[in-house]
């Protein structure tokens, strides 16, 4: 009896995954289509390109997704970063108790100079960091370190290239 139930659950999960993939394909096809017919000029447009970066924290504790606003911050201009933190199941928002989010330029070994970014929790699993600034173009990293109570502290580094 137990194994049959387990099988049913697996089948259901499979269906959900297939549906999710189909939705992704549709979304992707839509983007490709609009791009080829109507290229978006991001220098003079209110439509920001979608820029999200995500990954599993180094210790495997959290799934983290970040999105800067504007999507492509300009050198010398303050910007905001939204950080979503999920449990390792990649679905359950984590109740973040402490967070440290900053930028780092690995080649030059310096961070974001002259600013003091502040991170606040907007809701469960959703953080907002204000006051970030890229001092110069080049290869940067977002360094994210979070603790969600007893789930522990873990970190993630995501590369972000800033063009001229
Ligand atoms: Cu530098």
- Find the CATH number of the domain harbouring 155: 2.60.40.1930
pLDDT of amino acid 53 = 95
Q: How far is the CA of 77 from the centre of ligand 1 (A)?
A: 15
Question: Do 60 and 127 have their domain in common?
Answer: yes
Same domain, 78 and 154: yes
Supply the pLDDT for residue 148.
Answer: 98
34 plus 63 within the same structural domain: no
What is the Å distance from ligand 1's center to 75 Cα? 11
User: 112 C-alpha vs ligand 1 centroid, how far in Å?
Assistant: 9
Q: Are residues 89 and 68 in the same domain?
A: yes
Paired strand residues for 142: 103, 158
Per-residue pLDDT of the chain (164 residues; tens, 9 = 90+): 444 444 443 333 333 333 333 333 333 333 333 333 444 444 444 444 568 999 999 999 999 999 999 999 999 999 999 999 999 999 999 999 999 999 999 999 999 999 999 999 999 999 999 999 999 999 999 999 999 999 999 999 999 999 98
Distance (angstroms) between ligand 1 centre and the Cα of 135 equals: 7
What pLDDT score does 164 carry?
Answer: 80
Same domain, 82 and 115: yes
User: Are 61 and 32 found together in one domain?
Assistant: no
User: Exposed/middle/buried for 20, CB within 10 Å: 0-12, 13-18, 19+?
Assistant: exposed
Print the domain residue range for 3.
Answer: 1-39
Q: How far is the CA of 53 from the centre of ligand 1 (A)?
A: 21
- Please tell me the distance between residue 148's alpha carbon and the centre of ligand 1 in angstroms: 32
CA of 161 to the centre of ligand 1 (A): 12
Do 85 and 138 fall into the same domain?
yes
How remote is the CA of residue 130 from the centroid of ligand 1, in Å? 21
Domain count, the chain: 2
Question: Residues 34, 75: one domain?
Answer: no
What is the 73 CA–ligand 1 centroid distance (Å)? 16
- For residue 102, give the nearest of 142, 55, 158, 135 by alpha carbon: 142
Best CA proximity match to 144, nearest among 46, 59, 42: 59
| Cα 137 to middle of ligand 1, angstroms | 8
Domain match, 14 and 72 both: no
């Amino acid at each position: 009896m137990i194994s049959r139930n387990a099988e049913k659950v697996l089948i259901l999960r499979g269906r959900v995954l297939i549906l999710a993939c189909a939705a992704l394909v549709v979304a992707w096809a839509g983007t490709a289509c609009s791009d080829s017919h109507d290229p978006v000029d991001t220098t003079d447009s209110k439509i920001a390109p979608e820029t999200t970066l995500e990954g599993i924290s180094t210790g495997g504790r959290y799934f983290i997704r970040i999105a800067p606003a504007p999507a492509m911050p300009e050198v010398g201009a303050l910007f905001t970063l939204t950080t979503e933190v999920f449990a390792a199941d990649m679905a359950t928002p984590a109740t973040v108790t402490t967070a440290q989010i900053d930028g780092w330029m690995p080649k030059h070994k310096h961070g974001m100079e002259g600013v003091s970014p502040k991170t606040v929790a907007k809701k469960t699993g959703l953080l907002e960091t204000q006051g970030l600034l890229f001092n110069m173009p080049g290869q940067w990293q977002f360094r994210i370190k979070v603790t969600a109570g007893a789930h522990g502290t873990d970190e993630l580094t995501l590369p972000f290239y800033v063009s001229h």
